[in-house]
């Protein structure tokens, strides 16, 4: 600031220096802040994960994820309709079968929980976008994402055929989007070819193109019953230290025909979300706000350490700001409700 001597009164008045800016002028009221807000978060930016299991009229709470349940297919329509009425427009389905085997044969069974749930959803809530997870870890008795040899080594190319069968079975049930999540080399190309060959060229592929070997997945493995019986998944999921490799993975999936990409997890990898957004601006980009991120907020909130609503909306806005077009989150229903309340 400079000063100017006003001769008629002798009072020294402050005068703004040329070009000076006060950024706080546009933060002064809620209406001003909303007017200039750069990143918007809305219910239709969010995707709700749902866990499907075998049987009838059963709900199984997931102890490590308060508010999350495993559902039988006959109950899924009510859950999805309630979510749709809150403004959510998509769900992501995971299967949690009661019986498992070394080959994960239940993954592509026509009467599987996911296949039945897709049929119910497309009949009862036809406007809803139904996305299905395509992987073997929930279906195999060893809990790994593919077929194994006698030494317990994941067989990459042999797994592709099974993943293709899963994707086709989901498409035949009516899925709009299939989402391969196993980080198996060539999975997008194999699935795209199988879908086209089976007469499903309009079913989109959302690839978990960038999925890290993260410590944040623990509660999900509880929910899905998919923890490895031995070893880990570091031979096919990404090293958390690597960014350039993530961009190579995404490039391969784009070349194989992915319609959209995903980064998982979200909060510890916002730099990766931004890098993928900048490298592939033409493709829709998702980020997965994973189970560990959800469970930590729930635990802190239950102890009175955090304001859950404020923290969740801040975190989801940060994921959008980093470049995600939509977010898979277990907080989807609550966040949609809070956003609707804020808009009134």
Token pair in block for residue 268: 């510890």
134 in Cβ contact with 191 (< 8 Å)? yes
Q: What is the DSSP letter of 39?
A: -
Token pair in block for residue 309: 């609503």
pLDDT band at 9 (very low <50, low <70, confident <90, very high): low
Q: What is the DSSP letter of 271?
A: H
pLDDT band at 1 (very low <50, low <70, confident <90, very high): very low
Single out the catalytic residue among 100, 122, 211, 298. Answer: 211
Q: Which residue has the higher pLDDT, 209 or 145?
A: 209
pLDDT band at 28 (very low <50, low <70, confident <90, very high): very high
Would you state the pLDDT for residue 206?
98
121 in Cβ contact with 173 (< 8 Å)? no
Mean pLDDT of the chain: 91
pLDDT band at 307 (very low <50, low <70, confident <90, very high): very high
Would you state the pLDDT for residue 168?
98
Longest CA span, the chain? 97
As a whole number of angstroms, the distance between CA 344 and CA 336 comes to: 13
Over the stretch 113-154, which tens digit does the pLDDT of each residue have? 999 999 999 999 999 999 999 998 888 878 777 788 888 888
Residue 262 has pLDDT above 80, yes or no: yes
Q: Tell me, yes or no, if 122 is annotated catalytic.
A: no
Q: Tell me, yes or no, if 211 is annotated catalytic.
A: yes
Percent with pLDDT over 70 in the chain: 91
- 3-state secondary structure at position 111: coil
Domains of the chain, each with CATH number or no CATH: 43-343 (3.20.20.70)
Residue 94 has pLDDT above 70, yes or no: yes
Would you state the pLDDT for residue 7?
52
pLDDT band at 5 (very low <50, low <70, confident <90, very high): very low
Distance set, CA 344 to CA 119, 254, 311 (Å): 35, 40, 20
Would you state the pLDDT for residue 183?
86
């Amino acid at each position: 600031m400079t000063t100017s001597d006003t001769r008629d009164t002798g009072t020294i008045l402050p005068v703004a220096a040329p070009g000076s800016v006060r950024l706080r002028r546009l933060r002064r009221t809620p209406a001003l802040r909303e007017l200039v807000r750069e990143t918007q978060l809305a219910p239709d930016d969010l995707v709700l994960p749902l866990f499907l299991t075998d049987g009838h009229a059963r709900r199984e709470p997931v102890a490590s994820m308060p508010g999350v349940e495993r559902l039988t297919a006959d109950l899924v329509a009510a859950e999805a309709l309630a979510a749709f009425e809150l403004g959510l427009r998509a769900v992501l389905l995971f299967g949690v079968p009661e019986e498992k085997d070394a080959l994960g044969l239940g993954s592509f069974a026509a009467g599987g929980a996911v296949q039945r749930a897709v049929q119910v959803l497309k009949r009862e809530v036809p406007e809803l976008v139904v996305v299905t997870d395509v992987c073997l870890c929930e279906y195999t008795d060893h809990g790994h994402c593919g077929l194994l040899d006698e030494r317990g080594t994941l067989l990459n190319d042999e797994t592709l055929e099974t993943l293709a069968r899963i994707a086709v079975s989901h498409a035949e049930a009516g899925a709009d989007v299939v989402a391969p999540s196993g980080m198996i080399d060539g999975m997008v190309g194999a699935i795209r070819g199988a879908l086209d060959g089976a007469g499903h060229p309009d079913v989109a592929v959302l690839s978990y193109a960038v999925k890290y070997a993260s410590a944040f997945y623990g509660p999900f493995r509880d929910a899905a019953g998919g923890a490895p019986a031995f070893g880990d998944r570091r031979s096919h999921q990404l090293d958390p230290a690597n960014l350039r490799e993530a961009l190579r993975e995404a490039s391969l999936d784009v070349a194989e025909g992915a319609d959209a990409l995903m980064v998982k997890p979200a909060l510890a990898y916002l730099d990766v979300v931004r890098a993928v957004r900048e490298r592939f601006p033409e493709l829709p980009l998702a980020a997965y706000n994973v189970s560990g991120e959800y469970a930590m907020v729930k635990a802190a909130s239950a102890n009175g350490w955090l304001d859950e609503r404020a923290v969740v909306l801040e975190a989801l806005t940060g994921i959008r700001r980093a470049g995600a077009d939509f977010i898979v989150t277990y907080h989807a229903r609550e966040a949609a409700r809070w956003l609707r309340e804020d808009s009134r």
